[in-house]
Each structure stands twice: as C-alpha cells, then as structure tokens.
Chain A
Amino acid sequence: MTKLLMNRRRFLHGTALGAAALASPAYLRHGMAQTGGEVNIWTYNNFVPDAFKTQFESETGIKVNIRLVDDQGKQFNLLAAEQPNPTVDILTVAGHRYLQFIDSDLLAPMDTGRLSNWGNINPVFSESDWGTIKDQKWGAPILSGAEVLAYNTEVVSEEEALSWDTLFADKYSQQTAYILQDMMSVLMLARGYDGNMIEYMNDEAEAARIMTEMRDYLIAQKPKVRKYYDGGAEVQQMFVNQDIVLAHAWNGPIATLITDGFPVAMTIPKEGSYGFVYTMNIAKGAPNADNAYLFLNALLSSPEIGANLSRSSGFISTFKDVDQHLTEIERKATSFPEEQLAGLQFFRAEANEMKYRLMDPAVEQIKAA
C-alpha cells in the first residue's frame, strides 16, 4: 500500500524517528489559551503515543484519559450499556463494526470542517464511499488492514501463496488456520461472488444458496484445518510454535511477526481480498465534544504519529507521507506490490444485516459438524 500513499504534497520533517520526533511540532498554535477540562478516549494499547499525549496535555491543559480496549464486541457492549449518557468522547472502531455503531445510534456525525488537518489523511481512505453513510462522515481513518494469506517462507513458496486454494491443499493438511467468518467472505470473493452480499440484497434465496455452498465447502475441508482462531496473538503464536505454516490472517499481526525477524510473509492472493479501516469516532452525546475535535485534529497533524500508529499495530497508516518515518523493514512489512493491491477492495456493510443473519448459523454448523 506504500504506492497508494505516495502523493503530491510534501511536508518538512525532521528525520528522527519515534517518540523523540513526536515531541517536536506545536499541535495547536492557536489553541494555547484553552479552557482545559478533559477528553475521554477508548482505544487500543499504544494507539495514542505517550509523548503525543503529554505534549497535547501541556499545550492545551486538557487532560487525556485513556481506557484500553481489547475487543470491538466488548467496546460495543460497553457503549450500549452506557446509553444515553456515555462517558466516552472518542472511540476507535474497526471497519466491520462501523455500520453497526452508526445503526445503533452510538456515534455522532463527524464535522470534518472542524478538523483543519483532515487533508493529511490519504483520500483513498478519507474520501472513499464506504466511509460515507447517510450522506455524512462518521470517523477519521487512522489505520487500514487487509485480509491476507500468510505463510512460513521456509516451507511454502511465494507462488503457492498467491492463491487462496493453497489453504485447502492436501499438502498442507493440518498445518493451516483461519478465522471462520472472515474466511467465508473471502471465499465468496474467490469463487466469484460478492462477499459483501450487496448484489443479493433483493434476492435472499441466492444469498442463502451461496452461503450454503460456502458452508458445505468448509465442512468438507474441516479435517484439514488445524484451528479456527479468533485473535491476532493466536495466529502469531501458532506460526512461532510451527503448529501451522499457512493461515488466513489480518496483515497487522503478521507485519509485527515480520518486523521481529520471523520467516513469514503475506500476500493478497490473485483471487482478491477485502480491506478494512480503523477510524476514530466521536460518540453520540460525548461529554467533551469540543475537546474531542481538538484532540483528533492534533492527532492528524503529523505523519510521525501516523507512522507510530502503524509501527505499534502492524497495520497500514492512512496518513500521507508516513513512509519516511518508517524503517526499511517496517515499510516492507506494511506494503504490498501494486498488482496485489489491485485485487483489494473494502468491506461494505450495507447488506450486513442479511449477511450475518445467514452467516452466523452457518458458522455454528461448521463448528458443530
């Protein structure tokens, strides 16, 4: 994705990396005389760099409270349980949950006019059609991920890893793992269907038929899979322990393995794949909405912060000009060749209600088979 991030405008930066560089620019030149107060943020570990937080606090007098979240489902449940008076101002939502948060009326529309640094986001992410729901923007993209095929380079060749079919090859029987739900979407795409199921919104019979086809295929492949997993830490450990040599995964956890020097690589196979975006959103009824806008604008102000986000998560930064702030291996771990990127499309959530109504029982049946 590095290529996609290339753009015309260039800013002046120091060349130093990491936390030291974060402490340089003044985020809020005109915001020095702020009223203080606080801003409450729900996010993942390391998503808000300490140095940035400290500087933001000292420049604005706004106290930043961070609540660490580890899972989108729990975050959704917590926010729902807090309605109608949430304690949170900004929360981090993953792409597949985006519409669910909006539909449940948990987010406030984002007034991008209040974010002077909105233009620092690569338009591929900030202006894409998935992000605009009900004619409004709801979040600021900060990171992007993709469903990839990851492989142990000492066992599997790159040519083999260019097709999703290898995941089901007899040769690698009992050495593969995947996330069932995600695998079903990807498999639909690989078989020439619409994995977002938007094409079948008016033809539920067809959608059900496709879902059954996928289900039966995965049931037939079940003897060959080592593990249906859920979390990034699991797939990393399975690769390290050599329990598997091939897996469907999100690029973030795999990128972290690559930067740590483990012999693993990933591709976006030739049949194509789906991508998703992490956004920072303002909660509906946020108690400190003004401070939240101030914070987001500061967060978007510099590519170093984008690079830091990318480094700590392994996902691809949505900020312009992050490349120069990443090391060689970090750049490699967060980029794909252009011909592979061409096969990547974003998850769309319009048909999710029908899709998951069909998929959830199918997943149960695969597990029970």
Chain B
Amino acid sequence: MTRNTRILMQCIYWAFVLYLLVPLFLMMLMGFKDSKFIGFPIRSWTLDWYLGVFNDTAVVQALGYSAVIAVVSTAIALFMGTWIAVALTGRSFWGRAIILGLTLLPAVIPGVISAIAFRIAARVVGMEPGMWAIIWSHAIHNVPFVVLVVMARLSTLPKSYGEAARDLGADPIITFFRVTLPYLTPAMIGGGVFCMLLSFDDFVRSFFLGGYEPTLPVLIFAKLRSGMSPEINAISTIVLVLTALLGLWAERSMRGMSKRAAND
C-alpha cells in the first residue's frame, strides 16, 4: 500500500465514524431540551429528562429485562449457531443445502410473520408468553447470523491444525475445545455482538411474545406514540453510555488477558 492510499483510507474511516456519531451527539444534546419535542432551536435547557430516567422504575426495569433477554438468547444462539456451523463446514453430504437453507430462514422471514407464527407455536406447545418465549424467539432469529459469521471464519481454519492435534492423540471433543474454539473466538465475539444488538433492539417479537412486562423497545415504542420526546433521547443516551463503558472495560480486560497470554 502506498502512503496516499493509506491516508485516503484513514480519511474514509474517520469520515465514517463522524457519520455514525453526529446523529448520536444530536440525540444526547436533545436530552437536555426543555420541551416535549426534539429539534432546533433549543430555547431552554433542563436536566430533568436525564434525572427522570433514573427515577422511572418502569424504564430501569425494562432496561434490566432487555439486558437479561439479550444475554441469555445470545448464549443460546452462539451455542447452536457454532454447532451448526461446525457441522456444516468442510463437508458435503446429501441434504446439506436443505439444512443450510433452513438455518438461514429465520433471518429472512418478515418480523411480523415470524412473531405471529411463534406466538401460535408457543400456544401449541403450551409456552406462556413472557421472558422465556421472547428469549426463545430471539435465539432462533439470531442463530443464522452466528452461523454465517462463524462459517466464514471456520472455512479458513487450516486443516493441519486439527490433524496435528489428532496426531497427538486428542479426541474430537478435545480438538474442538483446544484448537477450533480458540480459532473461532473472534468470529464468535462478532456474532455475539450481532445477537445482543438484534435482541436488544427487537420490537416485533418482544411485543408478540411478551407478557405484561415491557422490554425497552416496547416501552420506547409506547412512549413514541405521544411524540419523540427528549425523554426517549435521554433513555437512549444512558443506554449508550452504559454499553460504551461496558465495552471499554471488556476491551481493557481482553487486552490484559492477551498480554498475560503473551508473557506465558
């Protein structure tokens, strides 16, 4: 790469970051507006919307509820998605295309339809609407995303790695945990982030499969009916800050881990 292209790419990267962050900056700003609606001009400012978020038990509960759903459904989707990806990669057998097609289906079905179908299916198997029904539907919807990301990484795993391990006497389970899984970790982190995001932002499935406790998007949609208020912006900003802190913490501890691993 020449110097010029490198600088060009750097510019593209930062321009893209700017494009992503400017709307978020506006969102944060609007949380301070003393009005029921967001937009310019801001004639007077207030802290009430931000402070109000912490006093609003409904919001805090919904946030916790959504977080639990996101974490559990992601864990299930990662487990199933990785398993399916491992089973399907590098083999050709009759029916592989069918299984792959079926695996990808939940990602393509329009939200409303899959939500209604899940609702009816849940009744057939006797599952009560509520947290587990939401988790179940999110996990199913998110599996395809894990499969795609993990398969892309897995297809580049040099065959020699596994063979070497087996030569040393490792059985397939140990080979998987000691060789394949570490190699897949970046893809699984990526897939996991997808799942968390999809689950955390999902409205339709949560609405149809939920009970009387709202997830955060369901609560926000309900609030949106009386207008996009600074309150919603304040809630979103706080969620953003919390996840950013969590991300920074994870990044630091991961860097620490890799340092220690390097020192071993």
Contact = CB atoms under 8 A, between A and B. Distances in A.
Tell whether A pairs with B: yes
Given A67-B212, A70-B222, A237 B116 contact: no
B226 A313 contact: yes
B227 interface: yes
Interface in B13-67: 35-39
Interface stretch (A5-13, A74-82, A147-155, A299-307): A74-82
Contact of B222 (A65, A69, A253, A261): A69
Interface string B214-227: 10001101111111
B36 A256 contact: yes
Given A45-B226, A70-B225, A77-B112, A240 B119 contact: no
Interface string B84-121: 00000000000000000000000000001000100110
B256 interface: no
A68 B218 contact: yes
B200 interface: no
Nearest to B208: A78
B145 interface: no
A44 B225 contact: yes
Given A81-B119, A233-B228, A44 B39 contact: no
B208 A240 contact: no
B227 A236 contact: yes
B39 A240 contact: yes
A202 interface: no
B225 to A, nearest CB: 5
Contacts of A313: 226
A170 B258 CA distance: 66
A40 interface: yes
Contacts of A74: 112, 207-208
A312 B222 contact: no
Contact of B228 (A77, A236, A261, A314): A236
Interface string B221-246: 11111111000000000000000000
Contacts of A314: 226
B129 interface: yes
A45 B37 contact: no
A312 B208 CA distance: 25
Given A66-B212, A237-B39, A78 B119 contact: yes
B182 interface: no
Given A70-B221, A256-B36, A77 B226 contact: no
A67 B211 contact: yes
Contact of A232 (B112, B211, B212, B227): B227
B212 A65 contact: yes
Contacts of B227: 232-233, 236, 253, 256-257
Contact of B35 (A81, A82, A260): A260
Interface in A225-258: 231-233, 236-237, 240-241, 253, 256-257
Interface string A291-319: 00000000000000000000011100000
Contacts of A40: 212
A45 B222 contact: yes
Contacts of A259: 36
A261 B226 CA distance: 16
B59 to A, nearest CB: 12
A161 B129 CA distance: 48
Contact of A81 (B120, B219, B226): B120
A259 B229 CA distance: 14
Contacts of A241: 39
Identify the interface centre among B129, B207, B219: most chain A CB within 10 Å of its CB. B207
Interface in A48-104: 65-70, 74, 77-78, 81-82, 87
Contact of A240 (B37, B210, B214): B37
B143 to A, nearest CB: 23
A77 B212 contact: no
Interface of A: 40, 44-46, 65-70, 74, 77-78, 81-82, 87, 231-233, 236-237, 240-241, 253, 256-257, 259-262, 312-314
Given A67-B210, A70-B218, A81-B123, 5 more contacts: A45-B223, A81-B208, A231-B225, A232-B225, A253-B227
12 contacts: A40-B212, A69-B222, A70-B221, A70-B222, A74-B207, A74-B208, A77-B208, A81-B116, A231-B225, A232-B226, A232-B227, A261-B35
Interface of B: 35-39, 112, 116, 119-120, 123, 129, 207-208, 210-212, 214, 218-219, 221-228
- 6 nearest A-B residue pairs (beta carbon): A68-B222, A240-B39, A45-B222, A65-B212, A70-B221, A260-B36
